[in-house]
A and B are shown apart, each in its own frame.
Chain A
């Protein structure tokens, strides 16, 4: 069964550095998402992306964050000037359509640790 893959599985970065998290969505999906889950807390929506532009973003997704689909397969989340509080699991998801019947398929996440 097709799946969403994320790399790396664990990223350790010094505070203040930039980090890029990578995702390969399911190949025929058109809608892409990033979520984050701080340890012990709930999964939080960051951003959705369609047709090479951001569709929706949450309050968390400020100027520190950006997303990009640099080629036909990868979907990246860039975090600039990382802070300690950016430490979390970051999940990528994709869906074939944008409607309430269409499930989002999640990757296994990247654990980001900011030192």
Chain B
């Protein structure tokens, strides 16, 4: 079993602040995806990164895949209450089996 650790587990910040969430593993992944999950709903895909060192931007969200493809980060600029949710990273190794991280629960306070 490949373990993906996310940190922090919980994060509560004020609207307008910046934050970074980390996803770390000792395993190499062929790709890594970030999802956001809201209560009572399934994970919704935010981004897929596949190349070591790759950086992708989605509005105020910046995703980076580590050079060795073992870790990733998600940076949110000027957080808004609508960003509140559970952020999950998921790594794909062989085949298409995804290993999900432990999740970061983000609360943005207006």
Contact = CB atoms under 8 A, between A and B. Distances in A.
A111 to B, nearest CB: 8
Contacts of A35: 100
A105 interface: yes
A89 to B, nearest CB: 8
Nearest to A97: B96
B88 interface: yes
B45 A103 contact: yes
B100 A56 contact: no
Interface in B68-110: 88, 90, 92, 95-103
Which of A31, A93, A100: most chain B Cβ within 10 A? A100
Interface residues of B, number: 25
Given A106-B43, A109-B41, A100 B102 contact: no
B97 A100 contact: no
Interface stretch (A13-21, A42-50, A67-75, A80-88): A42-50
B55 to A, nearest CB: 17
Interface of A: 4, 31, 33, 35, 42-45, 48, 55-56, 58-59, 91, 93, 95, 98-109
15 contacts: A33-B96, A33-B98, A35-B100, A42-B88, A43-B88, A44-B100, A56-B97, A91-B42, A100-B96, A101-B31, A103-B48, A106-B43, A107-B42, A108-B40, A109-B41
